[in-house]
Amino acid sequence: MSEPVEFTSGDHTVRGRFFGAAVEPPIATVLLLPGFPGNEDDVLGLGAHLADHGVQSLMFNYRGTFESGGMYSLAHTIEDIDAAFQFLARPEVKERFGIGPGAVIPVGYSYGGGMALAYVAAHPEIRRVCSIAGTDHGEFMREYRRNAAFAEMIDTSFQELGAPAGPVRFAEERGVAELERNADPYDLRRVAGSLTDRDVLIIGAWDDPYVTIEAHVLPVYRKLVAAGSSSVRLRAFQDGHAFEQSAEPLAAEVFAWISAE
């Protein structure tokens, strides 16, 4: 069962859903980070699946998307993630949802997977993170600069997503303008060295045409291993970006990792 929740980020209201666990006390609490722009219901069905197996979670729509207030940007997304952690740490929220003493675990998909890794790289207090088909925005920007067809496709996509016709209110004139100025904090190959002491689960899809194993997933894993990580795991499913054929085994993999500690 899920219920609507809201919290404040950058003086704007961020809206999402909290998936309560089917058991008490819950095994763990997860912060689910959707893709871009995501949707208002769930993230790959993980909220509902994990709840059925005793793991509760909070998912939300980033600022400037759907019914969340304000304007969208990558920097705002990082602030929103921080605000979500602060929300879950409030005594009244912990009591309301039965959040135990264990740390909240970020689990992100696509855009959210990349942002989860980027956020955790700058927050050593967070010890575990899962990225599912996570976008390496450093590689995204490199491809944008070298591939005119890709750049045109992205520009068109962002135009279609922009309000009022689409669900996104961009803070920048173009969706990639912020990355053009400074991609380093979101470049997973660059920040991988800051994640070597964390428990990291990376999941990819062999037939994903967007967040490819070759360009986005495997290079980050290789960087972590080369930097000395002893607790990074890579799993891949024979599926596309949306994991439509492997939703259940994907959820089972995530649950097994969450509950293993």
CB 62 within 8 A of CB 38: yes
| pTM for the predicted model, two decimal places | 0.96
Write out the two tokens for 261: 């500690």
State mean pLDDT over 80-92. 97
pLDDT digits (tens, 9 = 90+) for 122-146: 999 999 999 999 999 999 999 999 9
Other Cβ atoms less than 10 A from the Cβ of 92: the count is 7
Contacts of 123 (CB under 8 A, 6+ apart): none
Range of the domain at 77: 2-260
What is the CATH number for 222?
A: 3.40.50.1820
232-237 vs 199-205, strand pairing mode? parallel
pLDDT digits (tens, 9 = 90+) for 237-260: 999 999 999 999 999 999 999 998
pLDDT digits (tens, 9 = 90+) for 166-205: 999 998 766 789 999 999 999 999 999 999 999 999 999 9
Helix (H) or strand (E) run with residue 36 in it: none
Helix (H) or strand (E) run with residue 154 in it: helix 148-161
Q: In what order do the strands lie in the sheet with 232-237?
A: 2-9, 12-19, 55-60, 28-33, 105-109, 128-132, 199-205, 232-237
Domain count, the chain: 1
Three-class SS state of 228: coil
pLDDT of residue 40: 92
C-alpha count within 13 angstroms, C-beta hemisphere, residue 236: 14
